[in-house]
Structures are given as structure tokens and as C-alpha cells.
Structure 1
Amino acid sequence: MSDGPLIVQSDKSLLLEVDHPRAHAARLAIAAFAELERAPEHVHTYRITDLGLWNARAAGYDAETVVAALVDHSRYPVPHALLLDVAETMARYGRLRLVSTPREGLVLEAAEPADLEEVRRARKVAELLGARLDERRVRVAPSQRGALKQALLKLSRPVEDLAGYVDGAAHPITLDEQDWQLRPYQREAVDGFTHGGSGVVVLPCGAGKTLVGAGAMAALGRTTLILATSTVSARQWRDELLARTSLTEAEIGEYSGDRKELRPVTIATYQVLTMKRRGVHPHLELISARDWGLIIYDEVHLLPAPVFRMTADLQARRRLGLTATLVREDGREGEVFSLIGPKRYDAPWKDLEAQGYIAPAACTEVRVDLPAADRMAYAMAEPSDRARLGAAHGAKIHVVERIAARHAGEPLLVIGQYLDQLEEIAERLGADLITGKTPVRRRQELFAAFRAGTITRLVVSKVANFSIDLPEASVAVQVSGTFGSRQEEAQRLGRLLRPKADGRGAHFYTVVMRDTQDQDFAAHRQRFLAEQGYAYSIVDAEDLEAGSNGPAR
């Protein structure tokens, strides 16, 4: 027995004592391969997953490193069977490889004949394979490259894809670094991607993922398709590329609901690509037919199913996924791993905060009592109705007003899910409201006014969750969300993390209705941020004092 902060259990769960002096070091050591499941006050529960181990293996970690992390930080002896399982699971990555040769084309190559024989006996794999070359190798049609990787991952046989890429059309791009330079971690992320081939870069909101994309474009010097979450996001990409690279307006096209421009660098929205007409996706087919050298997926954790299917056909193109979190509530992280690529770079949020690259943030959960008159109605409601009854209750509006008074004069965002709730809050605060119905031009005007300080309050729906650059926002109040979405929680905090001109920190409030599904969802939403080292202080709404700008405790 040692004094470590970690208890490693045979079911692959890890218990981390949060208040232990070595807890931070242990969290960093296990973050590469373990996922946080629960994060109450004193003991956090992590889970070792196969996908986490394979991502770690692809990122350069070996089994010895993972085993050492568990042994070094564990309070008790680590179960021997678990250590063996970790080593065997990580050893599966690379036993099957996709390679390309001038003579034989695309080939699936196995470390041992038995490895190939095993996967060939799976019907869904066999139908994707071509002629057998020898006892360890079999041909694969290039069109089946993505489908094969998906099928093998479902058999827990991940493929290391070493088949390389077509160059795509050349288009020289340089970074204009006269007044700025890539930060060290951004350069590491670019190098990790370009040397790895394809994959995902994970960086906090506000840490400059767009610049990593620009760096990758400059490193490759090829035509590029950028897929963005919205037209506003697409135009922010365009503005950033114009400001930071040698690209001109004539070289950058927008492919959205408003415009259909195909240029050497084209920025398309997921929404327009997934539009269906007579059972087909015409824009998807048009764009995927171009000779791209690089495809960038912004907010890759949001990829819709049709774009996954398109990506399966684009395995000969280099692919870069950018995200703040690889968490997907639909459990399709494996699709990202197999079709975009493994995680190539990941920077812990708190590390970048300590270096001054993102703003420090105080997270506060404000709990509101459900009025006695509404308790019976909530108890008798259908389960499908309870989420809204708690999340959109009118008692939250008074709390929002109190928080706004507490931070008077500071740039403040109120973020929510339910439009009628947001409309009432906007009216009470005298603030502008942005929803999905707000025209793109009007959204851009309001965001610009907020950045300039002309307005200091904005009420926004979930359209502002992703890829919206509001660097001066220092206070956010979350009143409702998409059930228990961890990715949404991370993105909403991310609206505040861009460094402030005066160096001040940020305040992230979540208003929660006590003893309802709203509180249960809030606990689930906070898991990813807890993994990154953020702690939520909890305060009762009645104890929330106006007039003090310090964080609630």
C-alpha cells in the first residue's frame, strides 16, 4: 500500500481522490487513456476504454507508459489481470495495417496469418476484401478503405492506416507571421498532424484551433475544404484566413445556404452538405468530387451521419478534425477514430490556463427551489415533460437578473435551449436575442457590437454554442441546455476562455432547478469539465448576493 491518489479496480474503473496532493499529476497521467464517468465532490470515477487505449497508442504511448501511470499513482496493488488486458488491448493497434504498394495497390496486412484469418471469417469484413495475396496479406479496393476500417473497429481490431494519400491539387499558402506567431502548442499540434497523416487535434475553445488549421494548410500547400458548423462560423474562418495567411478573397469560397462558391479554399457548412433532394445529397456529391488535398472538420465531434458517410469515401485525402472535446453523446467516437483518424494532439485546459493562453474561469452552479405550488404538477408530469418543466421554470429568470446586477457593466451572455424562456429573459434584461431565426447578417451585426462593447448583454440560443468568437465575454449564465450534453457544457464555457485584454478571469454560472431532472442533467453535463480540472462551487439562489463581482462560494 502506498499514498497514491488512485484506486485501480479490476473492472477497469479508476477512483481518484480529488483532494489528494498528487491528484493533479494523476489526472494528467491517466487523461490520455481513461474517460471520466462521475465527478462528485471528493472522488472522481474514470473508466479505461479500448478506444482510449487505442487513441493513446496512436498518439505514441505504449503499454509500458500506461501501466507505469497506473502503478505509480495507485494506492493499492494494481490487479495483474487488468495490466495484462491493457497490454493486450494496446497491442491490437498495429497488428492490422493498411499499406499501399505500386504493384499491388491497397493491401490489408496482418502481423500473423491467424490475425488475417480471424477477421476474414467475419461476414461484414469478408465482403469488403479482395483477392488474397499470401497468408498475411489481402487486396482491398480503394473505395472500401473507410468501410473496412469501420467494420474492423467494430470487431475490436483497429487498423493502422499507413496507405498514404493522394496529393490533391497544389495551392501554395503561407502564414503571414509578421505581427504574430503560432504559439508553441499550436506548432506542436500542426507537427503532430502533418507527421501523423490524418487525425484529430483537441484544444480548448479560445486556444486557436483555427490557427492550427491554417498552419496545417500552409504546411501542405494544397487545395482545402473546410467544413464548419454555421454560416457565421464559416465567415469567421474566412476572416481569420484573410488576416493570418497569404490567401486573398478571390481564393476563398463560401458554400452555404447563401452562396455556392467552389474555390481553391472552400468553406462549407454541415447544414448545406446534409440537405437532401429526392433522396440524395447533391451538394455532398458535388463537393466530394473535387481534387482536395486537405479536408478540415471544424467541431469534429458534431459530424452528422451523412458527412461520416462522405468521409468514408474520402480516405485517400488528408483529414484534420478540430474540437474542444471528442465526447459524442451518441457514442460515435469510434466513427471519428476510424474515419477521421486517431487523436494526434491534446492539450489539457488547465495547462494552457496556467501559461496564460486561455482565461481562468470560476464555475458556479446556482440551485433554485421548485416552488411548492409546482411540485405536484412536476411529480405528476410525464417523464418526457419533466425536463422542460424544470429547465424552463420561470423562477430562474429572477436569478438571471440577480447575476446580471452582480456583474453590471461586464460583457454578459445568457445561453439557453427554450425560446420562450430566452425571449422573456431578453425582455427583462433589455438585451438583444439571437436564435436560429435571426438572419445571418443580423447575427453578425450583434456579435460585432458585442465585441466592440457597444452592447454588453446578449441572450443566445444554442446557435451560439459553437465556433463563435466573442473574446471579451467574461460572464455567461446557462439557464437550460440539451439534456445532459457534456460537449455543450464544454463549448458554452469555451465562449468565455479567450484571454481578456485586461487579464481578468471569467465567470460561468449554471442555474439549476433543485430536485428535478434539471439537476441530474447538470451533474452529467459537468463531467468533461471536471476531467479538465474545473470545479463547480454550489450556491443557493437565496444566498446569491447582488453587487459583488467575485465568484459565488
Structure 2
Amino acid sequence: HVQIRYYQEKALRKMFSNGRSRSGIIVLPCGVGKTLTGITAASTIKKSALFLTTSAVAVEQWKKQFEDFTNIHPRHIRILTSDYKLDLWPINEAGVLISTYTMLSYSGKRSEQSLRIVNDIRRREWGLLVFDEVQFAPAPSFRRINDIVKSHCKLGLTATLVREDLLIRDLHWIIGPKLYEANWVELQNKGFLAKALCKEIWCSMPCSFYKYYLKSNSFIKRRLYTCNPRKLMMCEYLIKYHEQNNDKIIVFSDNIFALLHIAKTLNKPFIYGKLSPIERIAIINKFKHDSSINTILLSKVGDNAIDIPIANVVIQISFNFASRRQEAQRLGRIIRPKNKANEKKNINDPDSFFYSLVSKDTIEMCYSDKRQRFLINQGYAYNVLSDNIVDFNKLNLVYKNKKIQENLLKCILASTDDGNMDEDDDLFEDQSFKKDNTKVNKTNSNILLNKKEDSLKKIDNTTGGLLKLSSNMDVTFADKKKIPTKKFADKHILFRKFLSQNK
């Protein structure tokens, strides 16, 4: 038997008041039992339920929670992802289906099996439709879900009911009103959340980088302030410091160029959009259970619906501009109650550490200030520090190597905005991992097998994609080739004809 906590009971009372179920949204912090709240709601209604989440990894996590907390027969728990497509249970029986937003809202051509399952979903009456990470539901591409699924009751679950646009207002009519919201600090004081220490560290930028920052376009600027050598040195120092304390560390980088560079240089496993769900789960399990893997790097695909309760340190080196939601979600990865709490010398000592590394005197400082507003409103406070607190001259750090810094700068300045290497959104690129990424997978495999790679390997001048460039630390300027802003084929037919005649 599972005993729900007082705040979960309070939230569910709001949903099931007056003897009937109400549609609406329940807001609970990360790590305090949103999943169990959704499962309890489905068990109370006792009819078929459809759960939607953001990724295939999250689907597997929901399935495991249903198996752990309920006595539903396994044949009545179905998942629908790009890899798993099983027919639903008989229509006269009740069951649970777990899928992703993109899988259900996809409007393109489907496989025969997928189309058959979606048509079956359309025909059925669902007792409950649950939107995990409900802040994504107002996105234009997901609104058609309400037309596909006929449900008696809708429930939205999230830790961060915020968006940086006005679409958050639409949730009131897409799903329903906010039924309950818990306070983060209140739950922390009652022991349901770990005590977290939040620090923002300002990292000065070397003159060699800053002079290009002042005169470059926005694409190059972002890479420069993300790959600021002093920021990367601080990141490396914090990783070493916390690994000595046997902490489990997550390094977040929205910028894929930086993520791959750091992973290769420091020999750490990483997860981003091009890895398949099976590979992601394997890396996460290795991180959870293997004492030799204490650090992983995540892109924004790790922001939502990934369960890593063992992690207690987050280092953020790159983020999605001024997103308040992302800041809160990343803190949420490390605020589950820790087993180490009983080992603390002082009851006021923090259980978890959240570091946000910001390049000083850049636009990144403005974004950082806006990102913190949601957590500050919840009662958290940030300690602002300078990178001068650490004397890098006395430390043996890889990123202190001037040669690596120079080659990193050359690689950044030689790069072009091809639209593929700086952003990574798992929610809208559900099939991105099917692209050719054999080299990336091999790198991860070598890291997990503790095979050291020579990060200072000599290579010749090279051309090619940024993945190739970012994988070599001693790269010199690539042969510069001007790339037109618009492809010739994109031009209007009259202009194509005119240009071809005047060549």
C-alpha cells in the first residue's frame, strides 16, 4: 500500500471535490511526487487513462512507476513511442496508455501500425487525459491533441507553470484552472525537498576572446561567452572538487558545440538530442549505479521529465536565454531528499549545490538576472561570487592550457551558423537521434569504458561540419568559404531563371 503525502492529498481533494472530478492543473516542485499524484488520480477515476509526456525516456519512467505503485496487469499498460507500437487492450476493458506529445500530435504520414493505434485512440472514450509538463501543451503543434482524444477529465502536472510568451494563459481553456500550487521552500523546510545552495559565479573573459565578442555577430558572440576559457576552467575546477567529495554532478549546456567540446576534453559522458532513448537510459543508469561515472553532461533534453535522484550538483554553463522555467527545472534535478542528509555535520548545511556560470560584462548577465525571478519568488536566494575566489594558477587544469584556448578560439571564429550545432530541442525533434551520429556514439562508449583519448591529437587543416571541428582540439583555421545566406534553390523561379542567364 502506498501512503500519499499531505500536499498530494490536498491537491487531489481540489480535483475531486463535491464527489466529481474537475479538470485543472496541479503545480508541485520537482521531486516531490507529481508522478504519484497523476497515478493516484487515474486510480481514483477507475477508467482508461492517457498520459502524455515530453520524451521516450520519460515514457519509460512513467511505465515503471505504474508497475511499482499499482496492481494493473502489465498487458493493460501500453506505451506508444517511435520504437514501441503495440495495439491497445480490448475496448470493453480499462487500461493506461503512455505516449509523448509529438507522437500523438504528429500530422505527417504515419506507418500503418501507428495509424491504426491513433485511430483506436480517437474511437475510445478516455476517463482521464494527463499532460505531464503541462507548460508545453499550449504550443500550436500540440493543440490538436484535444481534437484527437475524447476525455471526461483533463489534468495538467508541472513544477513550473511559466512560459516566456503569453500562451500560458490559454491553458485555462485548453485544460482548466490551477487547482493547487505548493511552495518550494515550505516543502524544503518540512524535509520533502533537499536544501539547495544556489550560486552565480561571474567569470571574466580573456582579452583575446573579449575583443572578438565586441565586434562579432550574435552567433559568434554566443559561442564566445559560452566557451569563455575562465568559465570552462571554473567548471573543470568544480567538477574535480565535487568528485573528490563523491558527489554526482550534472553539467548543463544548451550549446551543443560547447557540450561536445567539454565532453571530449574532460572525457565525460554526454546526452543530447541525437542519442537514441536506449543510449540515454544506458548512460543515466551508468551514472546512477557506477561509482566511476560521477559526472554527465546534458543538453536541454535533460531539463524535463528525467529522473536522476542521485544527482546533487548542477553546473550550468549555457542556457536558453531568459527562461525562468528552465532555471527552475534544472534546480529540480537535484532537490530530491538525499540519503547523505544524516551525515551532515550541521543541520543547516546544504544537501545540493546549484552553480550558474556567467561570463562577466556580456549579455549573458542580463539573461541570468531574468532567469532567477521564478526561484526568487519561491523563496530561494543566489550568492553572487567572482571567479577570483579560485586561484587557477595553482591548479592543474586542462582548460588552463593556452594551446587549447587558442585552438578553441580559432574553431569558434571559423565556424558558421549552419543551424544544427547550437540548439537541441528534444520535444520538437523526436526523430533527430536517427541521424548519422556513429562518431558521437563511439566517443560516449569510449568514455563509459574509461578509454582515454588524446585531446591534443595533431591534425591537418580541415574543412567540414562543426561536429568534425569540435571533435579536434588542435584544429587550425578551416579553409574559409563564404556561404550565401540563402540557397540558390530557395529563390523565386523568376530570379533563378534570371541568375542562370547572367552567370
Mark yes or no: TM-score above 0.5.
yes
Do the aligned residues in 1 keep the contact of 2:129 with 2:151 (CA within 8 Å)? no
CA contact under 8 A between 1:369 and 1:513: conserved in structure 2?
yes
SS in 2 for 1:515: coil
- SS of structure 2 residue aligned to 1:381: coil
Q: CA deviation at 1:453?
A: 4.1
**1:405 deviation in Å?**
1.9
The correspondence for 2:361, drawn from 515, 537, 540, is: 515
| Higher RCO structure, 1 or 2 (CA under 8 Å, sep 6+) | 2
Q: Confirm whether residue 411 of structure 1 aligns to residue 248 of structure 2.
A: yes
* From 34, 52, 72, the counterpart of 1:209: 34
Name structure 2 gaps, 5 residues minimum: 90-94, 342-349, 395-503
Query: In structure 2, what is the equivalent of residue 449 of structure 1?
Result: 286
Q: Deviations over 1:464-495 (max 9, x none)?
A: 11111111101010110111111111110000
Q: Shift of residue 213 of structure 1?
A: 0.2
SS of 2:340 mapped into structure 1: coil
Determine the C-alpha separation between the residues in 2 that align with 1:520 and 1:289. Answer: 50
Work out the CA distance in 1 between the residues paired with 2:391 and 2:197.
16
- Which structure 1 residue ranges, 4+ long, deviate > 4 Å from structure 2? 278-286, 312-316
Q: Does 2:13 align with 1:191?
A: yes
Residue 236 (1) aligns with residue 35 (2): no
1:115-514 matches, cutoff 5 A: 177=1, 180-195=2-17, 197-261=22-86, 262-263=88-89, 264-277=95-108, 287-303=121-137, 304-311=139-146, 317-383=152-218, 385-408=220-243, 409-454=246-291, 455-503=293-341, 505-514=351-360
Q: 1:532 to 1:315 in 2, by over 3 A?
A: farther
Counterpart of 1:332 in 2: which secondary structure?
A: helix
8 Å contact from structure 1 (residues 390, 518) kept in 2: yes
Q: TM-score scaled to structure 1, two decimals?
A: 0.63
Aligned position for 1:536? 382
> In structure 2, what is the equivalent of residue 153 of structure 1?
none
Shift of 1:433: 0.9
Retained in 1: the 8 A contact 2:125–2:150?
Answer: no
- The whole-number CA distance in structure 2 between the counterparts of 1:366 and 1:257 is 41
Q: Is the 2:271–2:298 contact (alpha carbons within 8 Å) kept by the matching residues of 1?
A: yes
Query: Alpha-carbon deviation of 1:451?
Result: 1.9
Superposed displacement of residue 323, structure 1 = 0.3
Pair 346,544 (structure 1): closer, same or farther in 2 beyond 3 Å: farther
The 3 A distance-change label for structure 1 pair 524 and 279 is farther
Measured on the aligned residues, the alpha-carbon RMSD in Å equals 2.3
Per the alignment, do residues 284 and 537 of structure 1 end up closer, same or farther by CA in structure 2, a change over 3 Å counting? farther
Please give the alpha-carbon distance, in whole angstroms, between the structure 1 residues aligned to 2:3 and 2:27.
20
Aligned equivalents of 2:59 and 2:75: distance in 1? 16
- Paired residues of 2:196 and 2:353 also in contact (CA < 8 A): yes
Shift of 1:545: 6.8
The 1-side partners of 2:367 and 2:286 are apart by 33
State how far apart, in whole Å, the 2-side matches of 1:315 and 1:344 are: 22
Q: CA deviation at 1:327?
A: 0.3
Deviation at 1:279, TM superposition (A): 11
Aligned residue type for 2:378: Q
Cross-structure match for 2:371: 525
Distance 2:373 2:390 in 1: 24
1:472-524 Cα deviation digits (max 9, x unpaired): 10101011011111111111000001111122610000110111111111111
One-letter identity of the residue aligned with 2:272: T
Contact 1:295 1:319 in 2 (8 A): yes
Question: Is the 2:226–2:258 Cα contact (8 Å) retained in structure 1?
Answer: no
> How much does 1:292 deviate?
0.8
Counterparts in 2 of 1:288 and 1:386: CA distance versus 1, 3 Å: farther
In the alignment, residue 328 of structure 1 is paired with which amino acid? R
- Cα distance change, pair 343–501 in 1 and its aligned pair in 2 (3 A): same
- 1:29-44 aligned at under 5 Å gives the runs none
Q: Deviations over 1:162-217 (max 9, x none)?
A: xxxxxxxxxxxxxxx2xx41111111112212226010000100011000001101
Query: Would the aligned equivalents of 2:223 and 2:258 in 1 still touch at CA under 8 Å?
Result: no
Question: Are the counterparts in 2 of residues 413 and 460 from structure 1 also a CA contact under 8 Å?
Answer: yes
Q: Equivalences for 1:39-50 in 2 at 5 Å?
A: none
Residue 232 of structure 1 aligns to a residue in which SS? helix
Contact 1:472 1:500 in 2 (8 A): yes
Identity %: 34
Paired with 2:315 and 2:215, the residues of 1 have a C-alpha distance of 29
Tell me: CA distance 1:279–1:517, structure 2 relative to 1, closer, same or farther (3 Å): farther
Aligned mates of 2:141, 2:76 — CA distance in 1: 27
8 Å CA contact 1:368–1:513 kept in 2: the answer is yes
- For the 8 Å contact 2:126–2:149, the answer to whether it is kept is no
Q: 1:502 to 1:545 in 2, by over 3 A?
A: farther
Task: Kindly indicate whether the alpha-carbon contact (under 8 Å) linking 2:191 and 2:337 is maintained by their aligned counterparts in 1.
Answer: yes
- Partner deviation per Cα, 1:414-469 (whole Å, 9 max, x = no partner): 01111221122223333211111122112111211222243211111111111111
Structure 2 counterpart of 1:236, one-letter code: Q
Q: Give the partner amino acid of 2:338.
A: K
Q: Is the 8 A contact 1:478 1:511 kept in 2?
A: yes
